[in-house]
């Protein structure tokens, strides 16, 4: 092949092709690759032909096809990278498979489910020419008022890192160049979910030590797993906006962790340095700060293009920074294969792959795995058939948008009407019960999830009075959660509380199904419901999974990845509480008017069988700092049903240079056990995982005593304990 076309030679490595292409590019072509715009910005042809844009986001298929063909006609023929927020499915494509949200599925504690969800999503994206997803979300849920809590994998750093790494593997496959591989994007880097007051994109009070100790470990894990791209968060940490933080983007991510992919800003982060956070006086200054900090692609800040050109020409920005950014972007484009076979969408695969039966079956399997049984008084569940009369009530019993949650049709981002998706493929609890033989169903919605005036409590009460059991599906709605929809109050909205009290007063057994985006504050439900099943947003097959669990065809085995609070004033209520508060004689160590314990804690979940833990053994009494602690415990299924138990191991550093949590998750295992079966479960804890971050940001494993705790949840009373020494 001619040397001048060396970058077009698919037999060469991505690095070789990039190094051949870079010297051929003008400054305008280099800067253009750093720009990403939404299709709605307009003037797309000019951006492709004259400004050599690197990426578009949120682009319908017809425009993907047209614009990619247009890019092919340019001087160098550099392809466009199309991206979207495929958070729990290819939500921008009508008919796509919609899985449980990350928060819902994280209650499975099952990395395999996350890899499967990501793999299905990648296959469906690839058929439409979308080769970059802004997922996984590695934010840790620490304030339930935040509107985007449903996008997280819960409150624990270790669990977030494991599940997100599995998603990266699912998206990117064994090779990025494979036909159905897409680029993953770890977001929001970092500390985004800790904004003060749960206010989206607001100032976060977390210091660099706090970031490194709590919030960076999951990002480091996915970087080491080969995640191709990172997205900088909106917010400022301790006064420094993420997109202006050289320490975060260059020193930690690229220099310390060796990250070789590229960093994209979140939506107009660079413009916000001027208009929102006021750390730059002009857009030109903001462009300089963003480049020097280590951002490589700039999302939705169109004037960055002109300012970057002017800065380089004036000698205010070193051209090597532009080349480095472009080198990273082009290397990923070559590795992905969009210069070659994957340049144009494989549209013949859309009908075969998008929303196919095999993918929908995986969504159902995921929904089953994510359910958490929170209460089951007098073993009301599972319910029986044989003439059972069921009153189904509640606003989320037959609301597809309420069931699917954010980043699906009807959300502000996807903005697809019901007709744009195969709604008939979305099975609500009502649809699942309508199709169930052996029961008599009486459905009465009862009330709206939001509007307190939209109610018919009397109809729901009448349905309850004529039935044997009441199933109430309550929670929140898409209109009051998601990006920009933060809440000050986490109580049930609309007339849902009135509905529950009305049907409870009939004296009929009450089963509450929590269908919503987040842990709401529902102490009345915990006290008065006969059974409670948590489903969060369980995806398109969620209704089937819920009904199967209520009738015992599925034995629930999920464990909460996030705690439920008793009151909003308990925030933050995550299980990793710190020592050192004044109790003033209050033995609970809590508020004078409330226990510090959550309503339902992290790691908690019941089953239709019972598990017994005994004989905790730590193989080493003294552990060297380069060794692995081997722990085992005997777990017995004492019930009459087969099940899956999630065994959890926590550690407490008893004396440390800086304060550390009273317990931190360090290992877990999903253990299937047949009825009556016992197993010795082994758990490994590398001594390196006991490291703490000192005030100078160094990481050390300090010598001393560590408490080892193993059990079925993070509750103190359920944990077996032992102590080991690190030498």
The string of pLDDT tens digits covering residues 481-538 is: 988 899 999 999 999 999 999 999 999 999 999 999 999 999 999 999 999 999 999 9
298, 304 in Cβ contact below 8 A?
Answer: yes
So what's the pLDDT on residue 92? 83
For residue 45, what pLDDT is reported? 97
Query: What band does 1 get if pLDDT is binned at 50, 70 and 90?
Result: very low
Residue 107: strand, helix, or coil: coil
Residue range 26-55: average pLDDT? 96
Instruction: Over range 421-430, report the average pLDDT.
Output: 84
Distance CA 616, CA 594 (A): 33
- Specify the CATH superfamily of domain 611-726: Immunoglobulins (2.60.40.10)
> Residue 2 pLDDT > 70, yes or no?
no
| C-alpha span between 80 and 33 (Å, rounded) | 9
Which residues does 361 contact at the CB level (< 8 Å), separation at least 6? none
Burial string for 48-65 (b: 16+ CB within 10 Å, else e) reads beebbbbbbbbbebeebb
Report which of 541, 565, 474 is spatially closest to residue 514, judged by C-alpha positions: 474
Residue 329 has pLDDT above 90, yes or no: yes
- Backbone φ and ψ for 298, nearest 5 degrees, come out as -110, 115
Q: Is the pLDDT of residue 422 over 70?
A: no
Cα distance between residue 480 and residue 496, in whole Å:
15
Distance of CA 646 to the CA centre of its chain: 20
Write the pLDDT tens digit of every residue in 118-170: 999 999 999 999 999 999 999 999 899 999 999 999 999 999 999 999 999 99
- The band of 414, judged by pLDDT with boundaries at 50, 70 and 90, is low
pLDDT for 27 beyond 50: yes
Chain Cα centroid distance, residue 267? 18
Say how many Å lie between the first and final Cα of the chain, rounded. Answer: 62
- What average pLDDT does the chain have? 95
User: How large is the average pLDDT for residues 410-427?
Assistant: 66
In this structure, the strands spanning 229-232 and 262-264 are parallel
- Each residue of 656-695: pLDDT tens digit? 999 999 999 999 999 999 999 999 999 999 999 999 999 9
C-alpha 664/C-alpha 651 separation (Å) is 5
- 574 has a pLDDT exceeding 60: yes
The closest of 301, 239, 246, 307 to 272, measured between CA atoms, is: 301
Confidence category of residue 420, pLDDT binned at 50, 70, 90? low
188 preceded by a cis bond (ω within 30 of 0): yes
Measured CA to CA, the distance from residue 107 to residue 558 in angstroms comes to 5
Largest pairwise CA distance in the chain? 84
Query: What does the block give as tokens for 479?
Result: 């209109």
Segment 716-725 mean pLDDT = 97
Q: Does the reported pTM lie above 0.95?
A: yes
Q: How far apart are CA 271 and CA 241, in angstroms?
A: 12
pLDDT at 415: 57
In this predicted structure, what is the pLDDT of residue 496? 98
Pick the range with the lowest mean pLDDT from 333-337, 361-365, 403-407, 524-528. Answer: 403-407
Instruction: Specify the range with the lowest mean pLDDT, choosing from 328-332, 361-365, 415-419, 696-700.
Output: 415-419
pLDDT of residue 470: 98
Mean pLDDT of 21-39: 97
Residue range 103-108: mean pLDDT, rounded = 98
Find where tokens 């239709």 sit: 608
Q: Where are the alpha helices (DSSP H) in 232-276?
A: 246, 269-275
In sequence order, the 6+-apart residues with CB closer than 8 A to the CB of 67 are: 44, 48, 56, 59, 80
- Under DSSP, the state recorded for 252 is I
Asked if 570 contacts 516 with a C-beta cutoff of 8 angstroms, the reply is: no
pLDDT of 245 over the 70 cut: yes
Q: Which of 443-447, 483-487, 709-713 has the lowest mean pLDDT?
A: 483-487
pLDDT class of 94 with cuts at 50, 70, 90: confident
Residue 59, classed as helix, strand or coil, is: coil
The CATH number of 369-570 is: 3.40.50.1700
Domain ranges of the chain: 369-570, 611-726
Residue 257, pLDDT score: 98
The whole-number average pLDDT for the span 96-120 is: 98
Give the contacts of 201 (CB within 8 A, at least 6 positions apart): 192, 195, 234, 235, 276
Of 62-71, 241-250, 332-341, 417-426, which range is least confident? Answer: 417-426
């Amino acid at each position: 092949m001619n040397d001048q076309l060396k970058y077009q030679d698919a037999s060469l490595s991505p690095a070789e092709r990039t190094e051949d292409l870079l010297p051929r590019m003008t400054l305008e072509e280099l800067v253009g690759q750093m720009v990403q715009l939404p299709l709605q910005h307009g003037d797309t042809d000019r951006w492709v032909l004259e400004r050599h844009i690197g990426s578009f986001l949120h682009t319908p298929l017809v425009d993907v096809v047209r614009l990619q063909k247009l890019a092919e006609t340019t001087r160098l023929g550099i392809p466009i990278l199309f991206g979207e927020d495929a958070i729990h499915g290819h939500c921008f494509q009508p008919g796509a498979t919609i899985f449980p949200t990350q928060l819902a599925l994280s209650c499975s504690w099952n990395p395999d489910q996350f890899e499967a969800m990501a793999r299905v999503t990648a296959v469906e994206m690839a058929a439409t020419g979308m080769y970059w997803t802004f997922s996984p979300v590695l934010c840790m849920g620490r304030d339930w008022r935040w509107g985007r809590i449903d996008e997280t994998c819960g409150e624990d750093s270790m669990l977030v890192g494991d599940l997100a790494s599995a998603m990266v593997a699912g998206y990117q496959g064994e090779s990025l160049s494979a036909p159905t591989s897409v680029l993953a994007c770890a977001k929001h880097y970092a500390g985004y979910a800790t904004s003060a007051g749960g206010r989206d994109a607001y100032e976060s009070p977390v210091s660099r030590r706090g970031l490194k100790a709590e919030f960076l470990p999951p990002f480091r894990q996915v970087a080491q797993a080969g995640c191709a791209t990172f997205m900088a968060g909106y917010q400022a940490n301790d006064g420094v906006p993420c997109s202006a933080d050289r320490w975060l983007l260059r020193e930690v991510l690229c220099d310390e962790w060796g990250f070789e992919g590229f960093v994209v800003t979140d939506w107009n982060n660079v413009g916000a340095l001027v208009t929102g956070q006021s750390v730059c006086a002009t857009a030109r200054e903001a462009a300089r700060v963003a480049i020097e900090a280590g951002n490589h692609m700039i999302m939705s800040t169109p004037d960055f293009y002109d300012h970057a050109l002017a800065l380089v020409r004036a000698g205010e920005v070193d051209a090597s920074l532009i080349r480095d950014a472009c080198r990273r972007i082009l290397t990923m484009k070559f590795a992905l294969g969009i210069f070659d076979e994957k340049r144009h969408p494989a549209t013949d695969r859309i009908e075969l792959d998008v929303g196919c039966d095999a993918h929908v079956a995986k969504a159902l399997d995921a929904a089953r795995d994510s359910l958490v049984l929170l209460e089951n008084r007098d073993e009301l569940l599972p319910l029986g058939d044989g003439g059972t009369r069921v009153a189904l009530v509640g606003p989320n019993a037959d609301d597809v948008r309420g069931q699917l949650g954010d980043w699906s049709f009807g959300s502000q981002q996807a903005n697809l009407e019901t007709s744009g998706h195969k709604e008939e493929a979305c099975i609500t609890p009502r649809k699942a019960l309508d199709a169930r033989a052996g029961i008599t169903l009486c459905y009465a919605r009862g009330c709206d999830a939001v509007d307190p005036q939209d109610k018919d409590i009397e109809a729901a009460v009448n349905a309850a009075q004529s039935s044997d059991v009441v199933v109430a599906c309550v929670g929140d709605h898409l209109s009051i959660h998601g990006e920009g929809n933060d809440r000050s109050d986490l109580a049930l909205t609309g007339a849902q509380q009135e509905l529950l009290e009305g049907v409870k007063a009939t004296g009929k057994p009450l089963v509450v199904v929590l269908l919503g985006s987040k842990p709401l504050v529902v102490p009345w439900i915990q006290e008065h419901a006969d059974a409670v099943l948590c489903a969060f947003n369980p995806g398109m097959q969620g209704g089937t999974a819920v009904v199967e669990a209520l009738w015992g065809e599925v034995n629930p085995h999920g464990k909460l990845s996030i705690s439920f609070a008793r009151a909003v004033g308990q925030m933050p209520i995550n299980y990793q509480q710190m020592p050192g508060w004044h109790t003033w004689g209050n033995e609970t160590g809590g508020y004078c008017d409330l226990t510090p314990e959550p309503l339902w804690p992290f790691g908690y979940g019941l089953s239709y069988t019972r598990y017994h833990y005994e004989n905790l053994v730590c193989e080493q009494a003294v552990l060297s700092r380069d060794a692995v602690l081997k722990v085992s415990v005997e777990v017995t299924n004492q019930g009459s049903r087969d099940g899956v138990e999630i065994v959890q191991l926590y550690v407490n550093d008893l004396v440390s240079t800086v304060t550390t949590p009273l317990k931190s998750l360090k290992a877990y295992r999903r253990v299937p056990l047949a009825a009556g079966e016992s197993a010795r479960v082994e758990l490994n804890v590398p001594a390196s995982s006991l490291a703490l971050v000192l005030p100078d940001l160094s990481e050390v494993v300090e010598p001393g005593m560590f408490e080892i705790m193993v059990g079925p949840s993070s509750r103190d009373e359920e944990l077996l304990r032992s102590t080991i020494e690190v030498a």
